[in-house]
Amino acid sequence: MATMADVARSAGVSVATVSHVLNDTRPVLPHTRQAVLDAIEELGYTPNTLARSLVTSRTRSIGLAVSAISNPYFTEILQGVEAAALDHGYSLLITDPHDDPVHERKVVQLLHERRVEGVIVAPSAQPREMLAYLGRHRVPAVLLDRLVRTPGGGEDPPFDQICAESTEPTARLVTHLAGLGHRRIALVAGLPGLSTTAERITGYRHGLAASGLPYDKRLLVHGDSTAAGAERVTAGLLSLGSCPTALVTANNVMTIGALRALRAHGLSVPEDIALCCFDDFAWADLFSPRLTAIAQPSRDIGARAVRVLLDRLAEPDRPARTERLPCAFVHRTSCGCPDGPERPPQTEKPDPSKKGTPRDRRSR
């Protein structure tokens, strides 16, 4: 097995120069760097990262704690984190906290004990213990997707935070549906306690107000960010005396649950009820109808979290910051619009209630 000394002899340089090339600890002339890299390639040299970490106290590893197994949205974030980490020469240790505060605290401690240089975490609805651990041990950390506030409720975040915009995009879904003539628009919101849930509820209410529509608390339900929860509460919406004519789901998992409930009640989208969703996903364009959605820049969120964490490692004492990335409105057909940019004429549709169903149509 080739050693660093073998590489140095082959390249005609010192062992220290090889170390500088491998660890980026000192500038090396381009032709010298290339000679070292060529020798590494020719000899098949593999650096001993464990030994290096013992000497330098650096593992060049990042811990990631996201519920990727239970939420496909986080799978795309994971891909962004992994690609950015590898680009910067870092390995990735991944754990799944399952959105459980107790497990979340344990997996973050586990990552810290594995001597990762920093962690990226999508916090649960009750992250207090996990955040206290990070603060107590001064673990460099970036929170993604879900925001937290200071214990006193102030505006300055306790950690660097990266997320997508939630409020305005949700409002846009509501105003789009209202522009198509819908007057009873429901929201299937996520798990209470998450910042994303609160912001999308705020956007929902802003959208209603901007469209001149009253807020009806019966049309705001919580699917708890799960398919089963969304299926249950959507069925409850359809049992109302005056059920909604349009539905906004606040994440991709709940979209699946809502669609199951609509199918179980014999309703078609968008003929019987319009549907828009927060979170685009790979197969949204393959549904019939194709799903109108808000697309989050999930991979960009993951990549940006890595860059911000590396900035934190380079400048441990700089002020924490929160960054929000813009979303995109993906206009398809589940909202009731045809394929193409134009909206259909806002004409009155027949009342399906005459067919013996609870499909209360638009009142204008």
Q: In this predicted model, what pLDDT tens digit does every residue of 42-83 receive, in sequence order?
A: 888 776 654 554 454 567 899 999 986 667 788 889 999 999
Residues 119 and 213 in one domain: no
DSSP codes of every residue in 163-179? EE--HHHHHHHHHHHHH
Burial grade of 113 (CB within 10 A; 0-12, 13-18, 19 or more): exposed
Report which of 102, 107, 136, 132 is spatially closest to residue 121, judged by C-alpha positions. 107
Residues 256 and 292 in one domain: yes
Residues 127 and 239 in one domain: no
Number of domains making up the chain:
3
Residues 67 and 17 in one domain: no
Residue 117 lies in a domain: yes
The rounded distance, in Å, linking the Cα atoms of 125 and 224 is 11
Whichever domain contains 11, its CATH number is 1.10.260.40
- Cβ within 8 Å of residue 243, ≥6 positions away: 184, 237, 358, 359, 360
Residue 157, pLDDT above cutoff 70: no
Residue 46 burial (CB count, 10 A)? 9
* Mean pLDDT (whole number) for 180-201: 96
Q: In this predicted model, what pLDDT tens digit does every residue of 347-358 receive, in sequence order?
A: 333 343 333 333
* Mean pLDDT (whole number) for 157-182: 94
Assign 5 a pLDDT band (cuts: 50, 70, 90). Answer: confident
Residue 225 lies in a domain: yes
The rounded distance, in Å, linking the Cα atoms of 359 and 106 is 47
Residue 304 lies in a domain: yes
Q: Across 59-73, 200-214, 271-285, which has the greatest mean pLDDT?
A: 200-214
The rounded distance, in Å, linking the Cα atoms of 122 and 144 is 5
Domain that holds residue 31: 4-47
Residue 224 lies in a domain: yes
Residues 19 and 84 in one domain: no
DSSP codes of every residue in 6-20? HHHHHHTS-HHHHHH
Q: How far apart are the first and last CA of the chain?
A: 78
Residues 124 and 95 in one domain: yes
The rounded distance, in Å, linking the Cα atoms of 19 and 3 is 12
Residues 94 and 222 in one domain: no
> Distance of CA 11 to CAs 3, 15, 30, 68, 332, Å?
13, 10, 13, 44, 58
Residues 24 and 116 in one domain: no
Q: What percent of the chain has pLDDT over 70?
A: 87
Strand spans (E) along 157-244: 160-164, 185-189, 220-222
Cis amide bond preceding 350, omega within 30: no
Residue 214 lies in a domain: yes
Residue 55 lies in a domain: no
Whichever domain contains 104, its CATH number is 3.40.50.2300
Residues 310 and 234 in one domain: no
Residues 130 and 178 in one domain: no
Burial grade of 156 (CB within 10 A; 0-12, 13-18, 19 or more): exposed
Residues 221 and 333 in one domain: yes
Residue 362 lies in a domain: no
Residues 288 and 305 in one domain: no
Residue 363 lies in a domain: no
